């Protein structure tokens, strides 16, 4: 029997380079999937809607859209066992004193507001069943400050703290909440941006997917509130 057989997993950012790999790995592991992204057409191109998979378009920064999407998923599958908050964004920018509010707000919405809204919508359903797994994607960079990365680092460090808060709030409710801290993720876009880099030192999407499967399964039942670094082999 597959490790996630019979479970229902919600994956945000499922049309992205990482999200699509995670979706494929979770399906191989036996999970039924609700794939969520802002571009449903791209979702369908990447994953389609085979039996046990639904694709839903959603603006993850819009509270009403998020609540409606989660309600629809619960009505369709009857439950949510795991939530993988993968959607997010990266951007370098000017120093803080030259930064626009639009640049600042865009990364907070993509990286922390989306995690907050999805988790807020899903947790009540998990608490009813006394069972659930939430895994967020933060970043190893978020462990310290760095020039020209303030909005990204602030948003991703907030993901770490939010993970810890939710883990503590729900530890007696059968819900575990953890996050991963990848270094640079090995995607085509990142290779194009940094062609001279050592790609072997980057976090491979399939390695991240394996960790997510572990954290969504009962094998990780003793892990809660953890921030787990993910790096390459170099």
What are the extents of the domains in the chain?
A: 8-230
Q: Which run of H or of E encompasses 17? A: helix 17-28
CB 24 within 8 A of CB 48: no
Q: Over the stretch 7-33, which tens digit does the pLDDT of each residue have?
A: 999 999 999 999 999 999 999 999 999
Q: Could you tell me the CATH superfamily of domain 8-230?
A: NAD(P)-binding Rossmann-like Domain (3.40.50.720)
Q: Which residue has the tokens 């990848």?
A: 182
**Could you please report the per-residue DSSP string of 183-202?**
SSB--HHHHHH-TTS-GGGS
Q: Is 202 a catalytic residue?
A: no
pTM higher than the cut 0.85: yes
Separation between Cα atoms, residue 176 and residue 38, nearest integer Å:
27
Q: Over the stretch 121-172, which tens digit does the pLDDT of each residue have?
A: 999 999 999 999 999 999 999 999 999 999 999 999 999 999 999 999 999 9
Separation between Cα atoms, residue 78 and residue 23, nearest integer Å:
20
Catalytic residue, chosen from 37, 152, 182, 211, is 152
Q: In whole angstroms, how far apart are CA 31 and each of 19, 53, 133, 217?
A: 15, 9, 13, 10
């Amino acid at each position: 029997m597959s490790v996630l057989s019979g479970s229902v997993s919600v994956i945000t950012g499922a049309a992205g380079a990482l999200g699509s790999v995670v979706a494929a790995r979770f399906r191989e592991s036996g999970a039924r999937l609700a794939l969520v992204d802002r571009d449903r057409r791209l979702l369908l191109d990447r994953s389609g809607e085979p039996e046990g998979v639904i694709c839903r378009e959603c603006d993850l920064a819009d509270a009403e859209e998020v609540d409606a999407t989660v309600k629809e998923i619960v009505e369709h599958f009857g439950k949510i066992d795991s939530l993988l908050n993968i959607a997010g964004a990266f951007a370098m920018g000017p120093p803080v004193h030259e930064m626009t509010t639009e640049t600042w707000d865009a990364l907070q919405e993509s990286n922390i507001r989306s995690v907050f809204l999805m988790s807020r919508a899903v947790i009540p359903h998990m608490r009813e069943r006394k069972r659930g797994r939430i895994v967020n994607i933060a970043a190893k960079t978020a462990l310290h400050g760095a020039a020209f990365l303030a909005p990204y680092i602030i948003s991703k460090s907030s993901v770490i703290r939010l993970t810890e808060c939710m883990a503590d709030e729900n530890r007696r409710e059968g819900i575990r909440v953890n996050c991963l801290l990848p270094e640079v993720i090995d995607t085509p876009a990142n290779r194009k941006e940094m062609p001279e880099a050592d790609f072997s030192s980057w976090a491979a999407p399939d390695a991240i997917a394996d960790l997510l499967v572990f954290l969504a399964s009962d094998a990780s039942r003793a892990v809660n509130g953890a921030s787990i670094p993910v790096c390459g082999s170099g």
